[in-house]
A and B are shown apart, each in its own frame.
Chain A
Amino acid sequence: MSGAHAGAQAPFKDRATAALADKTLKIAIDRTTGNAERKRAAAVAAFPEFEAARARGKAIKDHVIAHLDHYLEQFERNATASGAKVHWAVDDAGARAIVTRICLEAKAKLVTRSKSMLGEEIGLPHALADAGIERVETDLAEHIIQLAGEKPSHIVWPAMHRTREQVAELFKTGHRPPPAAEDPATMVQSARRELRTKFLSADIGISGANFLVADTGATCTVTNEGNAELTTTPPRIHIVTAGIEKIVPSTVHAFALLRLLVRSATGGELTQYTTFHCGPKRPGDADGPEEMHIVLVDNGRTRMLADEFREMLRCIRCGACMNHCVVYRQIGGHAYGGTYPGPMGSVLTPVLDGLAGSRDLPNACTMNGRCAEVCPVGIPLPTLLRAWRIRSWREKLEPGALRVGISLWAMLAKRPALYRLASRTGVRAIRMFGKAGWISRLPLAGGWTAHRDMPRPKGRTFMEQYRAEQAKKGGRP
């Protein structure tokens, strides 16, 4: 179980209902995901080779996954040769312990952090607080949610659930002096001023990695703001936390995936800053950290490698699946309750937090397939979500009423003659509940009729009418 989400939360349906009632949240979601969807579509349209690039990206990730041990060892050798220290963590607790120990041994007072979902996954923010270390989030969105005391609601835009008006409120109390106006430009300037001194006085900078390059030992970050470089350059120590699936064979392979990642995430071609970090400051270097630590984190990934969720290891965390998900676009990220929201989160959260507490996530999906359609590395997300449903059914985690309902229905459906009889009787019974074509309240179908009317069945089933016609014609029954 992940320490990051050990706290009790309301059930999924209650969280979703609360999110649906939040009109401001809906405005914020529509603004960001709407923009993202339009920009991605334009970027893909401007890149006719996108499909071929996607096939290549998928093949690269599959290749790495099939030789993961080889590449991890190669990465470790090369990173060590560059002067970095490589650490390994089996789970989130192990990873937290390593990072905290490095911070405490360095007597760090102030740590800056550049956005990393892996850091969120392993519960790093809380671990640093528990160790009495001041943590400053430097990504603008992470800065916003740090001021709000929240968790990210999106893996690319962690503060997308907040409107500009709400951000202005946070900055008014969180910035000294407060921003002069509420437009995004003024607020961004205010954050720039507020964070600048933190960057330069931090003892340790922590980043994630979008790629780990096996043949050079470099880690790669991509940002638009420039906060990753400002986080990793001035402090004495740079710590990277990264999932073991982030590995690529070489810089060229990273570039092939980068073309997919940025277009799928923001609709850009490259982020403003793509930086390879290879070891600590070299003799003679004008700047840079004296120590570099890389923490390679498993936390469920080797389990996924061994079971039906292996394909999920291809994920490059672009967020396109959630931007195009009808459910995410109604309830936003927090309602999902895990580190990762949306379709990819609904596959990952049961891995990280256990299926028993998250069985709703793979079920709360219409299986419309749009997520898989936009996934830049061809992850069959609906198939993986269905795989969790199968496990949930097998482990008897599905609600009793549903199990009984499906089993009864299946018992009939497996017996065509009986089924014919039941459907003939059934449609006549259902007809009694409506008038003039529509049923507005139907027992056992409250989920339907609470929100929409039900067309009244025609009275005789197709099979009844068809057989009658056949008999009239004297044809085959």
Chain B
Amino acid sequence: MTARDRILDAIRVALPQERPAPDAISAEAKALLADPDTSRPRLVAEGLFDAFILKAESIGTTIDRVGGMEAVPDAVRRYLSGHGLSLSLAVEPTPALTALDWTGLDTGTTLAPDQPAALGKALWGIAESGSLIVHSGADTPILLSFLPLHHIVVLQESDILSHLEDYAAQLADRPHPRNAILITGPSGTTDIEGSYVRGAHGPGFLHVILVASTD
């Protein structure tokens, strides 16, 4: 008897003999999610946009707002200069970013060991928690979100979702990526005496460039 069979048998012995059909189980599971508003946090502001900003800033994310994608390189330059960093960074090879005019900035698609910053694009933002969503893919190396000390993320205002459930619905609508990641603030730890320190292994700085919707 395999370990698998032993475990499943032990479960079936412990549970009642009469078992519902898979459809009935699914229906029961779905019913457990009814009326989500009764058991999830309300947004901290009326609009998705304001709620996202409030929440993100409350967990240490910094935010810069720009009028359109073409303004992103300038915003990046502003951020790097503001932190006294060299104008050099890794840019995620996603067309929306590589298509921009990076004149005056030293950009590549891989992060050199001494390079402090990387730029990526979030698929969505979540107003409930101030989270950013990143999916792995051909254009989105996961390590670019974790290796740099400064992680800069472009997010379109129109991609801000209300709650975690709204993101789950988007996720369910497409093939599940190898990694689906919710980034909620800069990396941190409380492992030494419970005192909070930023930049444990991942980025110590998380900066969002929020791009106004063009339509």
A and B touch in the complex (CB under 8 A): yes
Evaluate contact between A53 and B179: CB separation under 8 angstroms: no
Evaluate contact between B7 and A244: CB separation under 8 angstroms: yes
- B122-163 Cβ-contact flags toward A at 8 Å (1 or 0): 000000110100001111111101110000000000000000
- Complex Cα spacing A55 to B38, Å: 11
Evaluate contact between A305 and B6: CB separation under 8 angstroms: no
Stretch at the interface among A284-292, A360-368, A453-461: A284-292
- B48-74 Cβ-contact flags toward A at 8 Å (1 or 0): 000000000001000000000000000
Evaluate contact between A188 and B181: CB separation under 8 angstroms: no
Q: Is B105 an interface residue (CB 8 A)?
A: no
Query: Do A160 and B194 form a contact, CB below 8 Å, given A47-B41, A282-B178, A288-B178?
Result: yes
Among B14, B38, B39, B201, contact of A230 (Cβ-Cβ < 8 Å) = B201
- Residues in A with CB closer than 8 Å to B99 are none
- Complex Cα spacing A60 to B32, Å: 7
- Residues in B with CB closer than 8 Å to A217 are 176
A side interface size, CB within 8 A: 101
Evaluate contact between A249 and B29: CB separation under 8 angstroms: yes
- Residues in B with CB closer than 8 Å to A162 are 192
Most interface-central of A35, A158, A224, A275 (chain B CB within 10 A): A224
Evaluate contact between B11 and A69: CB separation under 8 angstroms: yes
Closest residue on chain A to residue B197 by CB atoms: A188
- Residues in A with CB closer than 8 Å to B28 are 63
Evaluate contact between A266 and B190: CB separation under 8 angstroms: yes
Query: Do A229 and B146 form a contact, CB below 8 Å, given A185-B197, A270-B184?
Result: yes
Q: Is A140 an interface residue (CB 8 A)?
A: yes
Evaluate contact between B202 and A28: CB separation under 8 angstroms: no
Evaluate contact between B142 and A272: CB separation under 8 angstroms: no
Q: Is B215 an interface residue (CB 8 A)?
A: no
Evaluate contact between B178 and A52: CB separation under 8 angstroms: no
Q: Which residues of chain A in 1-48 are interfacial with respect to chain B, using CB atoms and an 8 Å cutoff?
A: 28, 31-32, 34-36, 46-47
Stretch at the interface among A102-110, A122-130, A252-260, A380-388: A252-260
User: B-contacting residues of A (Cβ < 8 Å)?
Assistant: 28, 31-32, 34-36, 46-47, 49, 52-53, 55-56, 59-60, 63, 66-70, 72-73, 82, 87-90, 94, 138-141, 144, 157-160, 162-164, 167, 184-185, 187-189, 191-192, 195-196, 199, 216-218, 224-227, 229-230, 233-234, 244, 249-253, 255-256, 258-259, 266, 268-282, 284-288, 296, 298, 302-303, 305-306, 310
